[in-house]
Structure 1
Amino acid sequence: MSQKVAELLSRLEKRLDRSSMVSANDAGPRYQEDPDGKTGAPPEFVLRPHTTGEVSDILRLCNDARQRLVVQGGRTGLAGAARIQPGEAVLSLERIAAPDREAATIVAEAGAPLQMVQDAADAAGLLFGVDIGARGTATVGGNVATNAGGIRVLRYGMYRAQVLGLEAVLADGSILTSLKGLPKDNSGYDLNQLFIGSEGTLGVVTRACLRLHPKPSTEVNAFCALASLDAAIALLGLLRQRLGPLLSAYEVNFAPLYGAMVAGMDAPAPLPVGSPVYVLAEIQGSEPDRDGERFAAVLMQAVEDGVIDDVVVSQSPREFRALWAVREDANRFLFSIKDLIGVDISIPLARMGTFLKEAEAAIQAIDRNADIYVFGHLGDGNLHYQVRTMDPAAAYDIVYRGVAAAGGGVSAEHGIGLDKKEWLHLVRSDAEIAAMRRLKAAFDPNNILNAGRVFDLAPAASIRDVPPL
């Protein structure tokens, strides 16, 4: 331990209780592990504050000492933003975790798991609009920092749309609090928006005032087999036109992924293997006597018109959950494959077919034995593109350059972190990245917060040398 670190810890001990400070030796591998299997450097130390005031003290003292921090929540992100770099200490928000509901909003602390927010909303007869597979582990702070998406963006929007106010601590310890929960407030700049999706580089979110929605009394889903992506896009258009806001999710699974999943599933497959495309569509409504009938009528019309080849519709809550389990089984299958690379991309629907054909052809041209698995949230253009190949670097290059050519985004919902920053310039202009750097300089002049995530500063310059706005 260096003298600088020892002196900083001595100052921190005067502000925090003993359980809030974990030494490098006692931290173990827990804070170093990523869900994608990559391991970070050992932390200088780990800090686990209980309150916003303690976060403020930590940032002020670390800023004075120029001690770099990586901010961690549930560590479920897939872009490496929470991975420890050499010389960094960990600021973990895992102990700031209490939700507090009022009216149709909930104020949740940063360390609260998403499922805790969902359960609190459900107990009040309401619904929280974001749902992701890592709901039991992913935290509110991390969700805000990455602008999390998930399966119901089509109906409720990204996490940004759920945020009515934030409390955040800047690098110098200043606390910004805006938790009134006002749907309309144009009293100056909306600083909340700067922290949403900034991946902890501008400040540390400690609490969020979140919007809740009426709880649906109808939930029905359908699993469909289709002949092509064009048919899936046509069905999406038909459901939107005929059902409007009833349509809450629209998930896609391309061959050969579904067939590979079915081979290892415990439960029976809802439809036979062999179709090029499978779709899971869901509705949520408030008229149980009419919603299901309307949904079924549109699906049957699509069958008669040749848009859908085969379909099964849930008839009970058990069947509803079983069809969603098929969608979530994609993660189980893919995480079991060694040396699989995965990207989280967004593509305009009009260009998705061309992108998929060109990317597959280019990957197989460099590796004839490559396996490609694609699934995702077709309703909002978000695909999870997975490749098992002997040349992962080339596959990344092909996919990300193809995304840029299609006018898409190299990160739909997991952020940029450490792993995608070399590709950011493909989809953001020099002027946009320069503006991001100037914001970083203004909010974190000593570059202590999640340094090197999203973008790098010029190697020969300090952050103080970044030109002002």
Structure 2
Amino acid sequence: MSQKIDELLSRLEKRLDRSAIVSAEEAGPRYREDPDGKDGAPPAIVLRPRTTGEVSDILRLCNEAGQRLVVQGGTGLAGAARIQPGEAVLSLERMTAVAAPHREAATIVAEAGAPLQMVQDAADAAGLLFGVDIGARGTATVGGNVATNAGGIRVLRYGMYRAQVLGLEAVLADGSVLTSLKGLPKDNSGYDLNQLFIGSEGTLGVVTRACLRLHPKPATEVNAFCALPSLDAAIALLALLRQKLGPLLSAYEVNFAPLYGAMIAGMEAPAPLPAGSPVYVLAEIQGSEPDRDGERFAAVLMQAVEDGVIDDVVVSQSPREFRALWAVREEANRFLFSMAGLIGVDISIPLARMATFLGETEAAIRAVDPGADIYVFGHLGDGNLHYQVRTADPAAAYGIVYRGVATAGGGVSAEHGIGLDKKEWLHLVRSDAEIAAMRRLKAAFDPNNILNAGRIFDLAPG
């Protein structure tokens, strides 16, 4: 252990309980493990505060000592929480309190270490709904969700995580605490500092609590699994559902061949539709009129069948069938995570350019590696695709995909962050002026560069 860490520890031990400080030897592999399999370096030390005041003490003392920290929150998939040599870990795993929802205001206050599912369950028990849902709901935390501006399956109706945040409590690198948890839907009293921390991947400050917006719990939830002849048909169906159903449409997920056929071959449950179509879509509605909502949904789907937009469709008739169709969507993650050597890319593409992007990108990858396996699925309603490739030349595939994204006018990260893994591609979709402005913000909020240093961009060019 270095002299700097020894001195820092002697100061921290006066302010933290014994279980808040975990040595590198005691930490084991848990804090080093990364969801993408690129494990980080051993931590210099792991710090596990219980309160915002303790987070403030930790940041102030680390800032004075020049000790860099990586903040871990269980959401990002681009290496933002992966430990770099010499970094200490700031884990908010003990800050998991979730207050009782305020029913009249439809808000809830949760600490940063609380898993998303705790917020969902608390809202549900109060007869309300939290608008964000992602597959990692049991492990992804409120702080991590804020830091990456998490999206998930219902962005189409409720928006990204940013739209759920009514206020934040955050600690700056020097230990200053900013608290704005009033939950006001309208407050233009100066700069909205909350928005700076959303999507900043822990580089500007550490979020400790969030006041989140809740929504009325739907009385109707119906979904449909559709086989379609083309991406153009999927986009046309999306437009038709939006036109006819408006805000009833809550999710619109896409799965391209050959992924659907490959994944249902290993599913224990029967597939809702046979393989063989180029595109499959899972569409969902949430409404407040059970006597009418399902009929309206079915009528629009039947119109699409008659017009040749849909080749085949199955509509849920019970909660069990509703859950079964969503299980097929989540089967894509299970299937892909089980494959070794797969690279995964989270991107956003304008719908008008998506077909061109998919065609040109696949052709370019196959020109480099004719035997590459390409699997694509995602949240078509908001243009977010998860593009997966198993190839002998991963570096070439990454370059082809990200340059294709830039040409299409898309984003190199839709919901997983930039972190360490994507920062070399950020310049393709952000101008020099934009990145320079980001650097100025970072330098103003964290002049000693102790918080998640090197994530998103390097503080100095190059």
Same-fold call, TM cutoff 0.5:
yes
Preserved CA contact (<8 Å) 1:98 1:112: no
SS at match of 2:4: helix
Change (3 A) 1:38 1:121: same
Change (3 A) 1:54 1:85: same
In structure 2, C-alpha distance between the alignment counterparts of 1:102 and 1:445, rounded to whole Å: 42
**Identity value in percent:** 92
Structure 1 portions without partners, runs of 5+: 460-469
RMSD: 1.1
Could you tell me how far 1:101 is from its partner in structure 2? 7.3
Could you tell me how far 1:200 is from its partner in structure 2? 0.2
Preserved CA contact (<8 Å) 1:101 1:107: no
SS at match of 2:355: helix
The Cα offsets for residues 135-190 of structure 1, whole Å up to 9 and x where unpaired, read as 00000000000000000000000000000000000000000000000000000000
Structure 2 portions without partners, runs of 5+: none
Could you tell me how far 1:458 is from its partner in structure 2? 2.5
SS at match of 1:102: coil
Change (3 A) 1:99 1:127: closer
Could you tell me how far 1:97 is from its partner in structure 2? 9.5
In structure 2, C-alpha distance between the alignment counterparts of 1:401 and 1:16, rounded to whole Å: 48
TM-score by length of 1: 0.96
Could you tell me how far 1:98 is from its partner in structure 2? 9.2
The Cα offsets for residues 69-117 of structure 1, whole Å up to 9 and x where unpaired, read as 000012x421000000000000001119998877310000000000000
SS at match of 2:357: helix
1:422 aligns with 2:421: no
In structure 2, C-alpha distance between the alignment counterparts of 1:101 and 1:188, rounded to whole Å: 28
Change (3 A) 1:121 1:428: same
In structure 1, C-alpha distance between the alignment counterparts of 2:394 and 2:445, rounded to whole Å: 36
The Cα offsets for residues 297-327 of structure 1, whole Å up to 9 and x where unpaired, read as 0000000000000000000000000000000
The Cα offsets for residues 438-457 of structure 1, whole Å up to 9 and x where unpaired, read as 00000000000000000012
In structure 2, C-alpha distance between the alignment counterparts of 1:228 and 1:405, rounded to whole Å: 22
What is the 5 A alignment of 1:48-63?
Answer: 48-63=48-63
In structure 2, C-alpha distance between the alignment counterparts of 1:164 and 1:150, rounded to whole Å: 19
Preserved CA contact (<8 Å) 2:101 2:123: no
In structure 2, C-alpha distance between the alignment counterparts of 1:333 and 1:101, rounded to whole Å: 39
The total of aligned residue pairs comes to 458
In structure 2, C-alpha distance between the alignment counterparts of 1:362 and 1:97, rounded to whole Å: 51
Tell me which stretches of 4 or more aligned residues in structure 1 moved more than 3 Å: 96-103
Preserved CA contact (<8 Å) 2:156 2:251: yes
In structure 1, C-alpha distance between the alignment counterparts of 2:268 and 2:190, rounded to whole Å: 55
Change (3 A) 1:182 1:409: same
In structure 2, C-alpha distance between the alignment counterparts of 1:80 and 1:102, rounded to whole Å: 39
In structure 1, C-alpha distance between the alignment counterparts of 2:73 and 2:101, rounded to whole Å: 15
Preserved CA contact (<8 Å) 1:342 1:384: yes
In structure 1, C-alpha distance between the alignment counterparts of 2:100 and 2:54, rounded to whole Å: 16
In structure 2, C-alpha distance between the alignment counterparts of 1:49 and 1:2, rounded to whole Å: 22
Alignment correspondent of 1:382 = 384
Change (3 A) 1:249 1:20: same
Preserved CA contact (<8 Å) 2:99 2:109: no
In structure 1, C-alpha distance between the alignment counterparts of 2:100 and 2:5, rounded to whole Å: 31
SS at match of 1:216: coil
The Cα offsets for residues 229-256 of structure 1, whole Å up to 9 and x where unpaired, read as 0000000000000000000000000000
The Cα offsets for residues 38-63 of structure 1, whole Å up to 9 and x where unpaired, read as 10000000000000000000000000
In structure 2, C-alpha distance between the alignment counterparts of 1:315 and 1:100, rounded to whole Å: 33
1:298 aligns with 2:300: yes
SS at match of 2:163: helix
Preserved CA contact (<8 Å) 1:404 1:426: yes
TM-score by length of 2: 0.98
2:198 to 196, 200, 205: 196
Change (3 A) 1:109 1:97: farther
In structure 2, C-alpha distance between the alignment counterparts of 1:194 and 1:458, rounded to whole Å: 20
